[in-house]
Amino acid sequence: MTTPNHHPAPAVLSDYVSGALRPAFATVVAAHLESCPHCRAAVQTLEALGGAMIEDLAPVSLSEGRIEQAMAALDQAGPEVEAHAVTADRIPFGPERWLAPGMSIRKAKVGNGEDLLYLLRLPAGQKTVPHGHVGTEFTTVLKGAYVDGEGRFAAGDFCEMSNDIEHQPHVDRGGECLCLIASEKPMRQFTRLGRFVHMITGV
């Protein structure tokens, strides 16, 4: 498997390490870490930095600059480090719900269930309905690939969406696409089909 091309922002990794991410979002970051030695090494360094700072009891915050320095140092990083946390197959998903041929959803509840966490399966060549987002949404592609206005996202890639982004992902013709998605709120749907899907799935 090739290493991912799209990674969480340094601030997201530092929130992951400090425990500031809510469980659904931390789960999607963890899924990316499993296929990304670069971000695993960054997390390990951030954990070491955090530990050192606690030992020093110094009132230093992890500034963006400092994190970027750490990330830069890791570009020459050596051996692979252990994957952190959760694997997708350890997430407590509910039953698979059929939406259309080759398209299904499995929802999971983690933490107190305040956020949506789900696995979306889309068939090869499928174009989703155009939609927007409310609040933050994290996606890690687990299988296959899709293209949208932001680029091509293949297995292992991470994507953070926010309020201002509207898109219509298009799955590669070569095979189905499986995405793990955490979202604060359901998508903004502009089409009748999209509203119907929301009505039956809640996403």
Hey, which residues between 143 and 182 contact Zn ion (CB under 5 A)?
Answer: none
Stretch of 34-42, 142-150, 165-173, 186-194 contacting Zn ion, by CB under 5 A: 34-42
| Secondary structure element (H or E) that encloses residue 203, with its range | none
- Could you give the CA distance from residue 107 to residue 117 in angstroms, rounded to a whole number? 6
Smallest gap, in angstroms, from Cβ of residue 75 to Zn ion? Answer: 12
Stretch of 32-40, 84-92, 175-183, 193-201 contacting Zn ion, by CB under 5 A: 32-40
Kindly state whether residue 36 participates in binding Zn ion, applying the rule CB under 5 A: yes
- Could you give the CA distance from residue 170 to residue 184 in angstroms, rounded to a whole number? 23
Nearer to Zn ion, 64 or 114 (CB): 64
Smallest gap, in angstroms, from Cβ of residue 191 to Zn ion? Answer: 33
Which contacts qualify for 144-148: CB closer than 8 Å, 24 or more apart? Answer: 144/171, 144/172, 144/174, 144/175, 144/176, 144/177, 144/178, 145/171, 145/172, 145/174, 145/177, 146/122, 146/170, 146/171, 146/172, 146/177, 146/179, 147/172
Nearer to Zn ion, 28 or 105 (CB): 28
Q: Which two tokens stand for residue 193?
A: 């089909």
Smallest gap, in angstroms, from Cβ of residue 140 to Zn ion? Answer: 10
Judged by CB under 5 A, the residue of 7, 22, 121, 133 near Zn ion is: 7
Stretch of 38-46, 49-57, 164-172, 182-190 contacting Zn ion, by CB under 5 A: 38-46
Stretch of 36-44, 170-178, 181-189, 195-203 contacting Zn ion, by CB under 5 A: 36-44
Rule CB under 5 A: which residues touch Zn ion?
7, 36, 39
